[in-house]
């Protein structure tokens, strides 16, 4: 199984330029920028699901105070929700760090998008 996975990853790395040019990306940096954008959307969805799991466990913990089995289940949901949030935010911080270091992706919010057209920014 490991050989198949390593072969697939090697083939994927060898074909990355072909994949980026096939999708119309002029270079690997543009491809990485688009990939970071897609990952950001996926991260936000999964983080929302982790919050829902945490609050579901909190609700189970509070509402079933008499039933020990439900209390334990609620504690597990809360623990897994917090663990998932920690892992996801750590992974997102690592992605943002590397995208800032290699200058791809939307690393800093632009003030030009939020200001009206007649306001000038002193630089």
Go through 64-75 and write b for each residue having 16 or more CB atoms within 10 A of its CB, e for each that does not: eeeeeeebebbe
CB atoms within 10 A of CB 30: 14
The answer to whether the predicted template modeling score (pTM) of the entire model surpasses 0.75 is no
Q: What is the dihedral of CA 82, 88, 93, 98, to 10 degrees?
A: 160
Q: What is the pLDDT of residues 24-79, one digit of tens each?
A: 667 777 777 777 778 888 888 999 999 999 999 999 988 887 888 888 888 998 99
- Count of all residues that appear for the chain in the document: 123
Domain boundaries along the sequence of the chain: 47-102
């Amino acid at each position: 199984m490991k050989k198949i996975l390593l072969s697939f990853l090697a083939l994927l790395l060898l074909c990355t330029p072909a994949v980026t040019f096939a999708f119309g990306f002029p270079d690997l940096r543009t491809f990485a920028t688009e990939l970071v954008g897609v990952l950001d959307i996926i991260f936000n969805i999964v983080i929302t699901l982790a919050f829902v799991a945490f609050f579901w466990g909190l609700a189970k913990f509070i509402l079933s105070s008499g039933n020990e089995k439900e209390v334990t289940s609620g504690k597990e949901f809360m623990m897994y929700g917090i663990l998932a949030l920690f892992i996801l935010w750590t992974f997102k911080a690592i992605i943002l760090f590397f995208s800032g270091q290699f200058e791809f992706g939307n690393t800093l919010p632009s003030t030009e998008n939020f200001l009206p057209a007649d306001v000038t920014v002193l630089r």
